[in-house]
């Protein structure tokens, strides 16, 4: 392999990138647009749940339970109603998500010690949000039930009874439990996967469409030199995208960065190598830019979003899908970025993921060179 020929391809491709100011601007602006769009829109936090309360009892016990919901940060009581129809209309028109019905004799059942029931009506059209809202509502009712039970025991014993177990919870790495703190780092990894693959997926196919591939083949340039030269040119753009995404994630979204910049930079370079080589392989496999773009999007966008663990937990997927996700490099880079951002861990913990990215980059590089050899032949 000749260093001079590889450098010549690198310079030639870099000139092509810089001359196309519109494409370069889009390549650099796309991480910001995608981060702002998905970072703000893709929020898994469920709070300020619009709630209607139907109190059929009207006792101090029922009012005490209502105050529990009013004091919770997860619920926003939109009003008090006198019938089921109003709750049904609110759920149908999407003005409320939850309805709480306190039945008659609620206070009497509590005083008798036989136990009382509370009806919770939830809009289940969005199953994920509904399940989270149900969990919050059950937690409020459970806490109220424990307070009532403790109060009854205190009255019977004539003194305040101590709790047998006093749980003290401490959340590590994301103490505020904000979804943006783990969505944004994973989003950075997925965006780099998509952009890196799209940057290079058109490079070889464009040479065929423009009729310049025949001129390149007439030179002493080898497939290895062409692949490396083209990859290095877009690698510079990929590093700029990664830096922009990092700055936006930390400054705009306020995601804590607890790890090492060196560890993040080295793992990002390793990931970019594999993603860019994959784009070149796709471009070499497709003879037209349209086919290359479609294949590049199909092989980067869908696996990056669905099979990387960025939004959906891989452990909850079917076994077949879990096996397929093992081959998705974004899955490992998402783990790396989240570990460096939130936990501050390094190579000692993330060595397995880094090893996979290195193997992936090497394999895809060999495949792209082999595909270029077939095209040349």
In this predicted model, what pLDDT tens digit does every residue of 236-259 receive, in sequence order?
A: 888 988 998 899 888 988 888 998
| Residue pair 152/113 in contact by the 8 Å Cβ criterion | yes
Is residue 150 domain-shared with residue 206, that is, in the same domain?
no
The confidence score (pLDDT) of residue 376 equals 53
The confidence score (pLDDT) of residue 354 equals 94
The confidence score (pLDDT) of residue 161 equals 47
Tally the C-alpha atoms within 13 A of residue 232's C-alpha that lie toward its C-beta: 15
**In the listed set 97, 123, 157, which residue is the last one of a domain according to the structure?**
157
Is residue 198 domain-shared with residue 217, that is, in the same domain?
yes
The confidence score (pLDDT) of residue 124 equals 86
Is residue 197 domain-shared with residue 259, that is, in the same domain?
yes
Please tell me the distance from the alpha carbon of residue 129 to that of residue 137, in angstroms, as a whole number: 12
Do β-strands 49-55 and 75-81 pair in parallel, antiparallel, or remain unpaired?
parallel
Asked if pLDDT for residue 162 goes beyond 80, the answer is: no
The confidence score (pLDDT) of residue 303 equals 84
What H or E segment, with its residue span, contains residue 279?
A: helix 261-285
pLDDT band of residue 7 (cuts 50, 70, 90) is confident
| Residue pair 244/237 in contact by the 8 Å Cβ criterion | no
> Domain residues for 63?
49-157
3-state SS assignment for residue 51? strand
Is residue 363 domain-shared with residue 261, that is, in the same domain?
yes
- Average pLDDT of the segment spanning 162-168: 53
Is residue 111 domain-shared with residue 32, that is, in the same domain?
no
| Rounded (5°) CA angle 69-72-78 | 55
- Tokens for 84, please give them: 């089921």
Is residue 182 domain-shared with residue 294, that is, in the same domain?
yes
Q: Is residue 163 part of a domain?
A: no
Is residue 184 domain-shared with residue 136, that is, in the same domain?
no
**In the listed set 157, 189, 206, which residue is the last one of a domain according to the structure?**
157
CATH of the domain at 140: 3.40.1710.10
- Tokens for 173, please give them: 């790495």
The confidence score (pLDDT) of residue 106 equals 85
Q: Is residue 164 part of a domain?
A: no
Mean pLDDT of the chain: 82
**Chain centroid offset of residue 272 CA:** 19
Is residue 131 domain-shared with residue 54, that is, in the same domain?
yes
Asked if pLDDT for residue 235 goes beyond 60, the answer is: yes
- Average pLDDT of the segment spanning 314-327: 87
Q: Is residue 233 part of a domain?
A: yes
Q: Is residue 168 part of a domain?
A: no
pLDDT band of residue 129 (cuts 50, 70, 90) is confident
**In the listed set 157, 192, 216, which residue is the last one of a domain according to the structure?**
157
Q: Is residue 323 part of a domain?
A: yes
The residues pairing with 79 across neighbouring beta strands, listed in sequence order, are 52
Please tell me the distance from the alpha carbon of residue 366 to that of residue 361, in angstroms, as a whole number: 9
Give helix then strand counts, H and E, for the chain: 15, 4
Please tell me the distance from the alpha carbon of residue 356 to that of residue 273, in angstroms, as a whole number: 12
pTM exceeds 0.95, yes or no: no
Tokens 């469409």 locate to 209
Q: Is residue 331 part of a domain?
A: yes
Is residue 38 domain-shared with residue 54, that is, in the same domain?
no
Asked if pLDDT for residue 360 goes beyond 90, the answer is: yes
Q: Is residue 170 part of a domain?
A: no
> Going by C-beta distance under 8 Å and a sequence separation of 6 or more, which residues neighbour residue 127?
none
The more confident residue out of 120 and 164 is 120
> Going by C-beta distance under 8 Å and a sequence separation of 6 or more, which residues neighbour residue 296?
197, 198, 201, 202, 279, 282, 283
Is residue 198 domain-shared with residue 325, that is, in the same domain?
yes
Is residue 193 domain-shared with residue 266, that is, in the same domain?
yes
Is residue 29 domain-shared with residue 54, that is, in the same domain?
no
* Structural domains counted in the chain: 2
**Chain centroid offset of residue 364 CA:** 25
Q: Is residue 201 part of a domain?
A: yes
């Amino acid at each position: 392999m000749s260093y001079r020929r590889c450098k010549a391809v690198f310079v030639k491709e870099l000139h092509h990138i810089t001359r196309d100011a519109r494409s370069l601007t889009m390549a650099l602006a796309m991480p910001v647009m995608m981060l702002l769009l998905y970072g703000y829109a893709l929020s898994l936090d469920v709070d300020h749940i619009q709630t209607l309360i139907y109190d059929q009892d009207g006792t101090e016990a029922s009012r005490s339970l209502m105050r529990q919901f009013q004091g919770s940060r997860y619920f926003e009581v939109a009003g008090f109603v006198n019938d089921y129809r109003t709750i049904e209309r609110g759920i149908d028109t999407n003005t409320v998500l939850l309805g709480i019905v306190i039945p008659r004799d609620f206070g009497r059942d509590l005083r008798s010690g036989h136990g009382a029931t509370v009806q919770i009506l939830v809009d289940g059209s969005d199953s994920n949000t509904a399940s989270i809202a149900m969990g919050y509502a059950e937690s409020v009712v459970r806490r109220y039930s424990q307070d009532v039970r403790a109060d009854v025991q205190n009255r019977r014993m004539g003194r305040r009874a101590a709790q047998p177990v006093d749980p003290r919870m401490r959340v590590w790495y994301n103490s505020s439990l904000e979804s943006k703190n783990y969505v944004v780092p994973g989003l950075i990894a997925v965006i780099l996967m998509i952009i890196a693959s799209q940057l290079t997926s058109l490079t070889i196919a464009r040479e065929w469409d423009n009729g310049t591939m025949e001129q390149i083949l007439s030179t002493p340039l080898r497939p290895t030199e062409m692949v490396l030269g083209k990859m290095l040119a877009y690698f510079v753009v990929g590093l700029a995208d990664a830096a922009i995404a990092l700055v936006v994630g930390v400054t705009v979204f306020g995601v804590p960065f607890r790890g090492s910049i060196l560890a993040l930079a080295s793992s990002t370079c390793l990931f970019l190598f594999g993603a860019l080589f994959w784009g070149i392989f796709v471009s070499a496999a497709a003879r037209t830019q349209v086919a290359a773009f479609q294949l590049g999007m199909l092989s980067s966008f869908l696996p990056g979003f669905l099979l990387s663990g960025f939004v959906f937990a891989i452990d909850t997927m079917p076994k077949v899908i879990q096996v397929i996700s093992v081959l998705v490099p974004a899955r490992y880079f998402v783990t790396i970025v989240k570990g460096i951002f939130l936990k501050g861990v390094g190579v000692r913990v993330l060595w397995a993921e880094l090893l996979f990215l290195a193997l992936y980059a090497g394999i895809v590089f060999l495949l792209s060179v082999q595909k270029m050899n077939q095209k040349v032949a």
